[in-house]
Amino acid sequence: MIKMFFQKDIETMSRKQLEELQLERLKWTVDYCYKNVPFYTKKLDEAGVTADKIKSLDDIKYIPPTTKADLRDNYPFGLFAKPMKEIVRIHASSGTTGKPTVVGYTKADIDVWSEGAARAICAAGGTKDDTIHVSYGYGLFTGGLGLHYGAEKLGATALPVSSGNTNRQIQLLQDFGSDIICCTPSYAMFIGETIRDMGIDPKSLKVRAGIFGAEPWTEEMRQNIQNTLGIKAYDIYGLSEIAGPGVAYECEAQTGMHINEDHFIAEIIDPDTEEVLPIGSKGELVFTAIDKEAFPLLRYRTKDICVLKREKCSCGRTHVKMSKPMGRSDDMLIIRGVNVFPSQIETVLMQQGYPANYQIIVDRVNNNDTFEILVEMMPAMFSDSLAKIAEAEKALVGALKNMLGIAAKVRLVAPKSITRSEGKAVRVIDKRKLY
C-alpha cells in the first residue's frame, strides 16, 4: 500500500518542531482565552496563570481543567470567544440535563476540522479520485458533516447519504461505486449482514475501506466488519466539544489513533487527583485546542480513559497515538452513537411523577445496541389494568425520546422489584463487553 498523507510536512514533523509549534500556539490560546472569554479571565486570574508564565509545555499543568459542567453552566453561548456574526456553524451534543453542549465554529475552525478529517481519509488510503460514502447522521451531530467536509477538503467526491434506509445504502454502494464508507461500526456490521442476506458478494462492491467511530467498538468487531465486508476498517475519534471526527485517526498500522498535535495538546491525568501522568500511563484523556477561534477550550476533561503512545509508527507519522478508549470516568453511556446519562433518565421519571427507581440494560444483539429501561411503578399504579400500564409505558417512551434523542424500550415493573445493593439500585447493566 502506498503511504498517503494529506499534509506530509506536518504529519511527519519532528518532535522538536512539533513541540515548538505547540508551545507557541498554547501561549496564544491562553492569552486569547483570557482576553475574549470572561469565564477564562476569572479562572486564569484565580490560578495566577498568564501566557507569559507558560515557559514550556509542562507548564500546561498549572491551567485549571475545564469540565462539561462548565459548558453546561455557560449554556448556550457563554464560552464563545467570537461574536455571533463570525460564527458560521453551530453543533451540539446531548448533555446531562437535556440541554445540549453547544459549540460554535468560525470559517477558520471549520477549515481546521476539515483538515483533520481529510488526514483521516488519507490515512485510510483515500485519494481525491475516490467517492466517500458518508452514512453518519447529518445535523447537530458532528459525524456526517465532519467526514463530508473532510472528503471535499481532500478533493474527493462526498456522497451525503446520511443514516438509515439500508437497502438504499447498498444500492448506492453498488451503483455509485463508492470507495470508502464512513459510519458507526454497528451500522457497518448491519450493512454487511444485509448484503450477505441479499445474496450479494461483497467482492462485487468497489468499497475497500471504512472509517468508523462515534461509539465504542472492539478489535473483534473490527475483524468481523473486515471479514463481512471485505474491507479494511479504520478507527476515528472526535468529540463535539473539541471538534468532530478527525481529532485523531488510525493509519494503516491500526495500532492506535494519531492525534493532530498541531491543533490539540493531549494529556493523561489521574481522574481523581487531576495529576498529569507520564506517557504510557492509563488515565483520563484531556485536550487543549490550541488554535480554535470560536470555542477555545483549555484542558478539557473528556472522561475517556485511554493511553497515549509515542513510539515510532511504521506509517511515518510522528504525532502521538491514543488507544481506543477503555471506558469512562463518569457514568455516561454511548448507545447507537448517542450520549446517554442516567441523570437524564432520572429527570424524566421525576417529571412524569415516578420515583427515581430504575435500571438501564444495554446489550449488543446482532451488532446493534439494545436499550431497555426498567422503571418501578408507584404502589397505586401496580393495581391498575394492563392496558393502563401499557399506556403509561408508551408515554414514558415518548418523554424519554424527547430528552435523550434516542428510543428506549420501557418496562414498568413492580415496586421494589429492582435489585438493590447496600440499599441502592444497580442503575446500569451494560452487557456489551466493549472494553
CATH, residue 321: 3.40.50.12780
Question: In the listed set 292, 312, 330, which residue is the last one of a domain according to the structure?
Answer: 330
> What pLDDT, on a 0 to 100 scale, did the predictor assign at position 426?
72
> What pLDDT, on a 0 to 100 scale, did the predictor assign at position 422?
42
In this predicted structure, the answer to whether residue 433 has a pLDDT above a threshold of 90 is no
104, part of any domain = yes
Q: What is the tally of structural domains in the chain?
A: 2
In this predicted structure, the answer to whether residue 104 has a pLDDT above a threshold of 90 is yes
Residue 154 near residue 121, CB atoms below 8 Å: yes
Nine-digit cell at 130?
475516490
Which residue is listed with cell 471506558? 327
**Mean pLDDT of the region 120-124:** 98
Distances (CA, A) of 9 to 14, 256, 312, 318: 9, 21, 16, 10
Cβ count within 10 A of residue 205: 19
What percent of the chain is modeled with pLDDT above 70?
96
CA 103 remoteness from chain centre: 14
Q: Are residues 270 and 125 in the same domain?
A: yes
In this predicted structure, the answer to whether residue 204 has a pLDDT above a threshold of 80 is yes
Q: Are residues 274 and 195 in the same domain?
A: yes
Query: Please, which residues have CB within 8 angstroms of residue 300's CB and are 6 or more apart in sequence?
Result: 65, 66, 67, 241, 242, 286, 287, 288, 289
List the end-to-end C-alpha distance of the chain, in Å, as a whole number: 30
**Mean pLDDT of the region 335-343:** 86
Q: What is the CATH number of the domain that holds 386?
A: 3.30.300.30
> What pLDDT, on a 0 to 100 scale, did the predictor assign at position 418?
85
DSSP class of 62: G
Query: Please, which residues have CB within 8 angstroms of residue 23's CB and are 6 or more apart in sequence?
Result: 54, 56, 57
Q: Are residues 310 and 361 in the same domain?
A: no
2 confidence band (pLDDT: 50, 70, 90): low
pTM assigned to the model: 0.83
> What pLDDT, on a 0 to 100 scale, did the predictor assign at position 330?
81
Cβ count within 10 A of residue 273: 9
In this predicted structure, the answer to whether residue 127 has a pLDDT above a threshold of 90 is yes
In this predicted structure, the answer to whether residue 219 has a pLDDT above a threshold of 50 is yes
| b/e burial code for range 382-411 (CB count within 10 A of at least 16 → b) | eeeeeeebeebeeebeebbeebbbbebebe
344, part of any domain = yes
Q: Are residues 305 and 180 in the same domain?
A: yes
In terms of DSSP bridges, do strands 409-413 and 368-376 run parallel, antiparallel, or are they unpaired? Answer: parallel
In this predicted structure, the answer to whether residue 55 has a pLDDT above a threshold of 90 is yes
What is the rounded distance in angstroms from the CA atom of residue 333 to the CA atom of residue 116?
Answer: 26
435, part of any domain = no
Query: Please, which residues have CB within 8 angstroms of residue 368's CB and are 6 or more apart in sequence?
Result: 186, 189, 190, 336
List the one residue out of 65, 38, 27 whose CA is nearest residue 302: 65
Question: In the listed set 276, 304, 330, which residue is the last one of a domain according to the structure?
Answer: 330
List the one residue out of 189, 184, 194, 181 whose CA is nearest residue 221: 189
**Mean pLDDT of the region 121-135:** 98
In this predicted structure, the answer to whether residue 288 has a pLDDT above a threshold of 90 is yes
What percent of the chain is modeled with pLDDT above 90?
75
> What pLDDT, on a 0 to 100 scale, did the predictor assign at position 435?
67
Burial class (CB in 10 A: 0-12, 13-18, 19+), 113: buried
Q: Are residues 167 and 104 in the same domain?
A: yes
CA 359 remoteness from chain centre: 24
**Mean pLDDT of the chain, nearest integer:** 92
> What backbone phi and psi angles, to 5 degrees, belong to 47?
-85, -10
3, part of any domain = no
2, part of any domain = no
Least reliable range by pLDDT among 78-82, 302-306, 423-427: 423-427
What is the rounded distance in angstroms from the CA atom of residue 236 to the CA atom of residue 265?
Answer: 17
What is the rounded distance in angstroms from the CA atom of residue 285 to the CA atom of residue 71?
Answer: 17
What is the rounded distance in angstroms from the CA atom of residue 181 to the CA atom of residue 179?
Answer: 7
Q: Are residues 223 and 166 in the same domain?
A: yes
> What pLDDT, on a 0 to 100 scale, did the predictor assign at position 420?
58
Q: Are residues 142 and 209 in the same domain?
A: yes
423 confidence band (pLDDT: 50, 70, 90): very low
Least reliable range by pLDDT among 42-51, 57-66, 80-89, 351-360: 351-360
148, part of any domain = yes
Which residue is listed with cell 451500522? 187
pLDDT tens-place string over residues 349-399:
888 988 777 899 999 988 889 999 999 888 777 766 888 999 999 999 999
Query: Please, which residues have CB within 8 angstroms of residue 401's CB and are 6 or more apart in sequence?
Result: 407, 408
In this predicted structure, the answer to whether residue 424 has a pLDDT above a threshold of 60 is no
Question: In the listed set 308, 330, 352, which residue is the last one of a domain according to the structure?
Answer: 330
Domain range for residue 26?
A: 8-330
- In DSSP terms, 289 is beta-bridged to 264
Q: Are residues 406 and 259 in the same domain?
A: no
What is the rounded distance in angstroms from the CA atom of residue 396 to the CA atom of residue 145?
Answer: 32
Q: Are residues 296 and 373 in the same domain?
A: no
> What pLDDT, on a 0 to 100 scale, did the predictor assign at position 215?
84
Which residue is listed with cell 418496562? 411
Residue 187 near residue 163, CB atoms below 8 Å: yes
1, part of any domain = no
135, part of any domain = yes
